[in-house]
Amino acid sequence: MIHHITGLTRLGGLLGSPVSHSISPMMHNDSFRELGLDYVYLCFDIGSEKLGNVVSALRDMNTYGFNLTMPDKEAVLPYLDELSLASQIIGAVNTVKNENGRLVGHMTDGIGYMRSAKEAGCHVIGKEMMILGAGGAASAIAVQAAIDGVSKLHLVSRKSRSWEKAEKLVRQINENTNCQADLTDLADTGTLRTLLVSTTLLTNATSLGMAPNEKSTPLPDTSLFHPELTVSDVIYHPRETRLLAEARAAGCKTFNGMYMLLYQGEAAFKIWTGQDMPTELIKERYF
């Protein structure tokens, strides 16, 4: 229930399609209430066609900003005035701040992932990381990891739709950050085995293993795991994917994508309000 809507209440929310399943309204409205902020967060089911008009209205309506989900994360770019470094490299935005009519785009998915890795006790700065996939989640994580100071980034993709995107991402990371990025075919088990020996953190950012396809895994060869490796999954439904269960059985530390979701919201909240989200309370209630 929303309390105390006033003549000064500022609007924000989530644009995309579908959006009704999102946990973000609970996360942000509870946090606004807890901190006594006169803000409200709603969901708007908006596909790419109407996006320009909607963004223009949100700019003029003195909103504090908004989030974007599929299919609007890339489609929103032409309507924004400025982009964070991560959003420039990735070419996508999940959080917009309205700075007095000037719309600034950010990407907090990668920030959320890196924070969740730290919380899981995995210290990857100055070390090597491997990311499976080259879609939206993989790009956001790869670019943030490179900006944060991961020394080498091994991107792994199947040779299909994503391959060219992955090649571009590697080029962009090498040109714009101090991180050294390379690309390997997911089918090249020999190279994966060699790279994994010196890798600290392995991340599945493909949708393989997500319900209802719980039996699938991007790395069926479990001899690739070693106990010094932390293995994570961006998937959180199921809480433990086949990849994570097999990695855990091989002695690896593991964590899932639940807190990536929480911390991307925490980062967006900070961008909009300048204040810290009451994260522990949100965690207790919804995670």
Judged by the rule CB under 6 A, the positions of this chain that interact with ligand NAP are: 109, 133-138, 157-158, 160-162, 186, 205-208, 210, 218, 234-236, 257, 260-261, 264
Choice between 109 and 128, CB closer to ligand NAP: 109
CB nearer to ligand NAP: pick between 55 and 131: 131
Q: Which is nearer to ligand NAP, 27 or 150 (CB)?
A: 27
Catalytic residue among 73, 159, 168, 283: 73
Helix, strand, or coil (residue 185): strand
**Measuring CA to CA, how many Å separate 80 from each of 58, 62, 65, 171, 248?**
12, 15, 12, 24, 43
**Shortest Å, Cβ 161 to ligand NAP:** 4
Q: How far apart are CA 228 and CA 193, in angstroms?
A: 14
206 or 230, CB closer to ligand NAP? 206
Closest by CA position to 130, among listed 139, 142, 122, 119:
142
Least distance (Å) from ligand NAP to the CB of residue 13? Answer: 18
* Angstrom distance (rounded) from CA 237 to CA 259: 12
User: Shortest distance, CB of residue 260 to ligand NAP, whole angstroms?
Assistant: 4
Query: In sequence order, what are the residues at sequence separation of 6 or more whose Cβ sits closer than 8 angstroms to the Cβ of residue 118?
Result: none
Active site residue 73: yes
Contact 214, 242 (CB under 8 A): yes
Q: Give alpha helix (H) positions in 122-188.
A: 136-148, 163-176
Least Å from the CB of residue 235 to ligand NAP: 5
Taking alpha carbons only, the member of 236, 278, 287, 274 closest to residue 28 is 278
| Residues annotated as part of the active site | 73
